[in-house]
Structure 1
């Protein structure tokens, strides 16, 4: 087998693997976020009202900032 052909096939296989991996990971993340959506303001307000707290805008903003700060640490 020609050495140039072997190198070409290796490069082609690596490129095809990278493209397939990208689209596979993209599809996985779309499905993950569909099943597990990130926390929204409405969710925080609902949780606070279920716990017996009155969800004021200030409290909701504090909770959202805490969540954002925690996710930035990790």
Structure 2
């Protein structure tokens, strides 16, 4: 889980490991969460499934920044 502070909000990018079959490569579902003052504000749900944990976290953070820009 990756976090960032943006315009007074704390944003979280999540990577949820998915593996359908033992022989398949690991994939990561991305999601984002927005908090302010230690309280939950909004969450994205699953945004996309990608090959990298870091990519998944970054997608979540990008979503959270966009949410703040359109709602703050």
When normalised by structure 2's length, the TM-score is 0.31
User: Could you say which structure has the higher helix fraction?
Assistant: 1
When normalised by structure 1's length, the TM-score is 0.30
Asked which structure has the greater CA Rg, the reply is: 1
